[in-house]
């Protein structure tokens, strides 16, 4: 392992506080341009590469993110493990607004996204094992930090990845619940699968920014979501800082 961490920032996390920036590089890939430059730096002595999933400023909707270019660029930068930050809607009773989840499973409801590196000019058809979509040791590291910092957290769960950019209907959320999902977001796939195809350890740190459709009497507004994001991402930054500082140097 190279010992270089990757952090993919989602909604509300277009920069990483505490990062001693050493430079940035816009890495061209065979799959096109990534969402933003890869920002290189250190936190607590750890080498870190940060990439803003939706661009900086936040301007790329979930279904337009070039996930293949983003993951490829991070690997080219020397990253071998990634913490992906996702703002999500909560369905599970434990996932109220402001709670965290480190999911252990995912269901893909997206469509039309470029979702694999293995499709053209292949010497052989390739199928990755995706039984457990997230890296378990990395999940456990995240959970330990969340526990230490006293956050409300669901230690596992099923992430439903929907197409977006619209929010879901109440009927769609009921369907996702019947399928076994606990939280819903728009960027979990194909990102997790692409990381697996590249051999990168990958885990999701999900912050609940709103009750899923039909889970609260109030209408979901972007103003309410943005207020939770602003406060919650400050907590996300503290989690990431401790995760990196506490991890052994490689």
Question: Per residue in 111-135, pLDDT tens?
Answer: 999 999 998 887 888 899 999 999 9
What are the C-alpha distances in Å from 214 to residues 3, 166, 173, 226? 43, 15, 8, 19
pLDDT tens digit sequence for 43-102: 878 899 999 999 887 789 999 999 999 999 999 999 999 999 999 999 999 999 999 999
| Domain with 237 in it | 4-246
Instruction: Sort strands 4-9 and 20-25 into parallel, antiparallel or unpaired.
Output: unpaired
- Residues forming beta bridges with residue 184, ordered by sequence position: 89, 160
Which residues belong to the annotated binding site for substrate? 186, 210-212
Q: Please check the confidence at residue 250 and state whether its pLDDT lies above 60.
A: no
| CATH (domain of 86) | 3.40.50.1580
Which positions make up the binding site for phosphate?
11, 53-54, 187
Binding site listing: 11, 53-54, 186-187, 210-212
Domain count, the chain: 1
């Amino acid at each position: 392992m190279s010992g270089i961490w990757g952090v993919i920032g989602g909604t509300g996390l277009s920069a990483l506080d505490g990062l001693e920036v050493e430079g940035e590089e816009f890495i061209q890939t065979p799959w096109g341009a990534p969402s933003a430059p890869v920002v290189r730096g250190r936190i607590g002595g750890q080498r870190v590469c940060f990439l803003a999933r939706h661009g900086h400023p936040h301007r790329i909707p979930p279904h337009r993110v070039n996930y293949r270019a983003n993951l490829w660029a991070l690997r080219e930068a020397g990253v071998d493990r990634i913490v992906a930050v996702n703002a999500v809607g909560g369905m599970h009773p434990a996932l109220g607004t402001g709670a965290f989840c480190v999911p252990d499973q995912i269901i893909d409801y997206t469509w039309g996204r470029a979702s694999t590196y293995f499709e053209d000019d292949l010497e052989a058809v390739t199928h990755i094992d995706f039984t457990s979509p997230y890296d378990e040791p990395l999940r456990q590291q995240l959970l330990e930090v969340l526990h230490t910092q006293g956050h409300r957290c669901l230690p596992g769960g099923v992430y439903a990845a929907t197409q977006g950019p619209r929010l879901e209907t109440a009927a769609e959320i009921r369907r996702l619940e019947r399928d076994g999902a606990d939280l819903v977001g728009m960027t979990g796939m194909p990102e997790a699968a692409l990381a697996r195809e590249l051999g990168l350890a990958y885990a999701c740190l999900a912050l609940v920014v709103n009750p899923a459709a039909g889970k609260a009497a109030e209408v979901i507004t972007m103003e309410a979501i943005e207020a939770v994001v602003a406060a919650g991402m400050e907590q996300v930054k503290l989690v990431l800082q401790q995760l990196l500082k506490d991890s052994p140097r490689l």
